[in-house]
């Protein structure tokens, strides 16, 4: 197991290690990524063969790449995959030709609005090849012949994904998902991988109520493959959270599940509001990350998505500017802290029944008032006990109590623990 250091710095160090690898929806880059994550967590790695039917999709051929470049007449590499995995169009088929610049241009992708940045482009399901480069590099290329080479293979193989399970007291599951298919993009989604990894390590020390299943899978096709292969487990999934764009300095953003009122939606809204962090709560849309797969009508799971600046919401998105300078240890640590707080609420959010429901039970003779003596929040804690007793009817959760009473969840949960220990309520 990798050593534990300050969470922000440790997560940033993991992002640094993963950043150079060339990832895609299949291939050795995904395996290498999972190999590094596996140094932090024990992983169950799955290999699903090309051609496997997964819901309405089919597992594609596996793509691997060794080298790619565009070289001028003197042999100088003017576009070089070795410098950055972003320089090649993802899933490019092999090519080894010499051609004039005019013929090469349709295969070159740039960002004219950001002339020094390299875009991230893919062609997963159509046979194509191409290169991505800065507009200023393209503008400096003289006419003439260029050697063009993509040393890649596209052949029957496997789609690779991994799971890590943190056992709980009950078999009901919470899914935490992040995608592992993007190349050298630090925020999208290496930051999500890093936060998920360290969240799993933290949960392992908490003896959680729920069982937490962490999915490290390629975007879209990976989630679809997992859903297709786990139909018998779907009814165990009570809650879920997709992590993406988790390390930039922007404010936190939570995107609700398709249901809009799932427990995870209410928990994140409560935690973010109570923390007084700048944040935004967004309604569900069927575009984004893998929440749209988990929330598709046939499954309709209560899965939301947590990010900082959302997908496509920052200029650096899907460009070379989403680099190691764009994410910060502080932002990673903040995202992790919110996840911890949210799962702390989710894991303790029970319904209780008042065992002394006829009139208010005498708390003083049970020592419950005395236990509050000297506490700066004694009045708040006393009100929390009264609210828990009032709403412990088997219908209301502790989150319901906190919201209705306008009290912090931790205070309400502590009151419930005290009342439970005194024999006044039962779960």
DSSP-assigned letters across all residues of 185-230: -IIIIIIHHHHHHHHHHHHHTT--SSEEEEEEE-TTHHHHHHHHHT
Question: Residue 5 has what pLDDT?
Answer: 53
Give the span between the Cα atoms of 409 and 399, in whole angstroms. 7
Overall average pLDDT of the 125-154 stretch: 97
**What is the CATH code of the structural domain delimited by 351-426?**
1.10.10.10
Q: Give the number of other Cβ atoms within 10 Å of residue 326's Cβ.
A: 20
- Name the strands in the sheet holding 393-397, side by side, starting at the edge strand that comes first in the sequence: 393-397, 351-354, 425-426
Which CATH code, of 3.40.630.10, 3.40.50.720, 3.40.1190.20, 3.90.1150.10, is assigned to 7-60+158-348?
3.40.630.10
Q: Where are the alpha helices (DSSP H) in 259-298?
A: 263-275, 291-294
Question: Residue 376 has what pLDDT?
Answer: 57
Beta partners for residue 96, in sequence order = 149
Q: Is the pLDDT of residue 170 over 70?
A: yes
Q: Classify 75 in phi/psi space as left (phi over 0), alpha (psi -120 to 50) or beta.
A: left
Give the tens place of pLDDT for each residue, 362-418: 888 888 876 555 555 678 888 999 999 999 999 999 999 999 999 999 999 999 999
Q: Is the pLDDT of residue 277 over 90?
A: yes
Q: One fold for both 62-155 and 351-426?
A: no
Q: Is the dihedral of CA 147, 153, 154, 155 positive or negative?
A: positive
Overall average pLDDT of the 312-319 stretch: 95
**What does residue 69 show for φ and ψ, rounded to 5 degrees?**
-165, 160
Give the span between the Cα atoms of 401 and 285, in whole angstroms. 30
Q: Is the pLDDT of residue 329 over 80?
A: yes
Q: Is the pLDDT of residue 242 over 50?
A: yes
Q: Is the pLDDT of residue 27 over 60?
A: yes
Of the two residues 365 and 219, the one the predictor is more confident about is 219
- Segments making up each domain of the chain, as ranges: 7-60+158-348, 62-155, 351-426
Question: Residue 1 has what pLDDT?
Answer: 40
CATH architecture assigned to 62-155: 3-Layer(bba) Sandwich (3.50)
Place of tokens 């933290």: 202
Question: Residue 367 has what pLDDT?
Answer: 80
Question: Residue 365 has what pLDDT?
Answer: 84
Q: Is the pLDDT of residue 323 over 50?
A: yes
Sequence-distant (≥ 6) Cβ neighbours of residue 130 within 8 angstroms: 88, 89, 92, 107, 108, 109, 121, 123
Percent of the chain with pLDDT over 70: 97
């Amino acid at each position: 197991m990798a050593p534990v250091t300050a969470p922000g710095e440790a997560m940033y160090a993991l992002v640094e290690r993963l950043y150079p690898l060339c990832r895609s929806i299949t291939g050795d880059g995904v395996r290498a990524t999972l190999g590094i994550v596996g140094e932090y967590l024990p992983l169950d790695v799955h290999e699903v063969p090309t051609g496997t039917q997964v819901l309405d999709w089919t597992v594609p051929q596996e793509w691997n790449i060794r080298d790619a470049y565009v070289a001028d007449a003197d042999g100088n590499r003017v576009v070089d995959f070795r410098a950055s995995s972003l320089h090649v169009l993802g899933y490019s088929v092999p090519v080894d030709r010499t051609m004039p610049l005019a013929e090469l241009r349709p295969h070159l992708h740039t960002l004219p609005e950001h002339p020094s940045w390299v875009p991230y482009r893919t062609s997963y399901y159509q046979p194509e090849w191409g290169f991505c480069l800065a507009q200023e590099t393209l503008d400096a290329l003289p006419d003439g012949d260029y050697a063009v080479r993509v040393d890649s293979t596209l052949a029957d193989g496997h789609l690779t994904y991994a799971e890590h399970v943190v056992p709980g007291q009950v078999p009901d599951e919470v899914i935490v998902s992040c995608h592992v298919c993007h190349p050298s993009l630090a925020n999208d989604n290496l930051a999500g991988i890093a936060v998920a990894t360290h969240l799993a390590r933290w949960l392992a020390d908490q003896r959680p109520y729920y069982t937490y299943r962490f999915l490290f899978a390629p975007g879209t096709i990976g989630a679809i493959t997992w859903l297709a292969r786990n139909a018998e487990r779907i009814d165990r999934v009570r809650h879920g959270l997709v992590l993406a764009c988790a390390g930039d300095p922007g404010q936190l953003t939570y995107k609700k599940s398709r249901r809009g009122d799932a427990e995870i939606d209410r928990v994140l809204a409560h935690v973010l509001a109570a923390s007084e962090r700048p944040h935004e709560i967004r309604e569900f849309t069927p575009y984004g990350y893998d929440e749209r797969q988990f929330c598709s009508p046939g499954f309709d799971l209560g899965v939301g998505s947590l990010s900082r600046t959302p997908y496509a919401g920052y200029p650096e998105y899907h460009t070379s500017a989403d680099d190691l300078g764009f994410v910060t240890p502080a932002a990673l640590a903040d995202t992790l802290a919110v996840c911890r707080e949210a799962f702390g609420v989710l894991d303790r959010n029970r319904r209780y029944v008042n065992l002394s429901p006829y009139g208010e039970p005498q708390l003083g003779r049970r020592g419950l008032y005395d236990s509050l003596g000297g506490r700066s929040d004694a009045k708040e804690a006393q009100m929390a006990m009264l609210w828990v007793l009032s709403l412990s009817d088997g219908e209301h959760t502790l989150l319901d109590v906190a919201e209705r009473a306008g009290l912090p969840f931790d205070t309400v949960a502590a009151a419930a623990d005290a009342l439970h220990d005194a024999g006044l309520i039962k779960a």
